[in-house]
Amino acid sequence: MAQDDGPFDPASIDEQLAQCAHDNARMYNQPSDVPDRSLVQDLQRLYQPQAEAYKRTLERAWQRVEHSRQPADPSEDNESVVHLPAKDKRAQRRSFFAQQRLSMIAAIIVVCLLLGSVLAVFSSVQRVGIGSHQALPTATKGGHQRGTTLFTYHDPVSVYAVSWSPDGKRIATASNAVRVWDRATNRQLLTLVPQPANSFFVARWSPDGTRIAANTPVLEIWNATTGQRQVSCPDPLKLTSNTGRNVDKQHIPAVNGSSADENIDPVPVPGTIDWSADGRYIAQIYQNVEQPMVVVWNVTNCKVVAQYKSERNELPLDVAWSPDGKHIAFSVDRAVKVWDYATDKVVYTYHDPFETNIYRLAWSPDSKRIASASYGSNTVEVWDATTGSHAVIYRGHARPVFALAWSPDGSALASGSSVREGTTLTGEVRVWDAVTSQLMYLYQGHAHPVLAVGWSPDGKLIASSDGKLVDRSGKSSDGNVNVWSVA
């Protein structure tokens, strides 16, 4: 604040206060007129008592200043009056004005500090609002605040899969059974128990919404309305005549690093399945240690029509059919292999830069990109499905990512992981902008590591599941499914 040696002009206080407010606003990168009216009102109520106290202090200070400017009472004893030389009177007047300026400057500083603290609070609130579950809520297209948990289902064991019906009206979850929920009423409609009993598998809706398939680890298919079991395919190794086509491996580059059984994953993940776009076939991860492989079934007659058998007993982890139905991508031995289904050739192999197993992968809706997450990176990597060139790498998770899902329009990507808090692990879901690569939202509504995520067909909701892992064999307890608003 500029100072001069002339007399203090009280009329200039408004100008000085405005300049002070402008300086504070510029300091916190905020406009001097804060646009959020409701927040300003809340802050005004919060700081009203302090403002009143400052007002009373300024009034008392001003009264003292006015009193000091009044002429001496002529009735006072003349003997007490000391006549100073003219030069000393001028010095006394300068001293008086200097004290007056200092008093008002101190008052202005107090007001500036008050304004600065208000702007600082406003600025910090805005900064917290990006990517935080505790952020100021943002209205979504669905009418709910972003991050609002609309429904929570508690399960006695971990929930390894969530799958929306194509019409968005029902959700299937997989734990020790497949449970089907009505989204509108949150009512459980069906319970589908695998044979034999298992609590370490995934389930997926068929593209037409009439069937639900599960890898239990044999392939089972139920009627999604009645719950009647329609198909139970045999163990692929026990088929007497397996006429399935074998994938040509001559185009598969050698993989560097140790074999899978030398690098035991600290967190188990079940093998997955995925439907072809026309609903006629299912690709299945078969995790038998004797002969792990990727199997493609004809779901009508339970016949193996194609298979990829590992020559090194590599353990496959995830499989996904491209939305256009032309390719199958599967993760195995720290790599993702892109399989051309028509020619039975692996046309591209993407190697994990960290040489650790790739737990999950997901095709973009346009079938051009693949998102993958490996144990060693704590990142999500999006790359071209035919060249492997990186489009973007999403960083932010502190621990491995176990769940991936693209939004239906391909504009966003959700990734689920865990967060260590002391001796416990909680879960988080990060929603990324697929265009700008920025974090859009951070959901922290899970008490355990997140194991699966799925977008509703309209892109407005996300269902995410978690579970408390007990040991590496897959035993678990205390799972939850949260349905929450995202757009």
Low-confidence ranges of the chain (pLDDT < 70): 1-143, 240-268, 469-477
CA 17 vs CA 111, 290, 479: distances in Å: 8, 80, 57
With vertex at residue 402, the alpha carbon angle to CA 217 and CA 325, rounded to the nearest 5 degrees, is 65
pLDDT for the residue 19 = 55
The total of other beta-carbon atoms located within 10 Å of residue 137's CB is 13
Q: What pTM value is reported for the model?
A: 0.69
Q: Cα separation of 354 and 472, whole Å?
A: 22
The first and second tokens of residue 237, run together, are 């190794």
Q: Hey, what domains does the chain have and what are their CATH numbers?
A: 12-64+108-128 (no CATH), 149-485 (2.130.10.10)
Q: Please provide residue 192's backbone torsions phi and psi, each rounded to the nearest 5 degrees.
A: -110, 115
pLDDT for the residue 448 = 94
pLDDT for the residue 390 = 86
Q: Cα separation of 426 and 133, whole Å?
A: 14
Encode pLDDT of 130-171 as tens digits. Answer: 333 333 334 445 567 999 999 999 998 999 999 999 999 999
Query: DSSP alpha helices (H): ranges in 84-164?
Result: 86-128
Q: Cα separation of 191 and 273, whole Å?
A: 20
Q: Cα separation of 321 and 330, whole Å?
A: 9
The first and second tokens of residue 23, run together, are 């300086």
Q: Which residues, 6+ apart, have CB-to-CB distance to 341 below 8 Å?
A: 296, 306, 325, 326, 327, 328
Sequence length of the chain is 487
With vertex at residue 59, the alpha carbon angle to CA 54 and CA 64, rounded to the nearest 5 degrees, is 125
pLDDT for the residue 269 = 80
The identity of residue 230, as a single letter, is: Q
List residues bridging with 433 in a β-sheet.
412
Local structure of 248: helix, strand or coil = strand
The total of other beta-carbon atoms located within 10 Å of residue 324's CB is 12
Local structure of 67: helix, strand or coil = helix
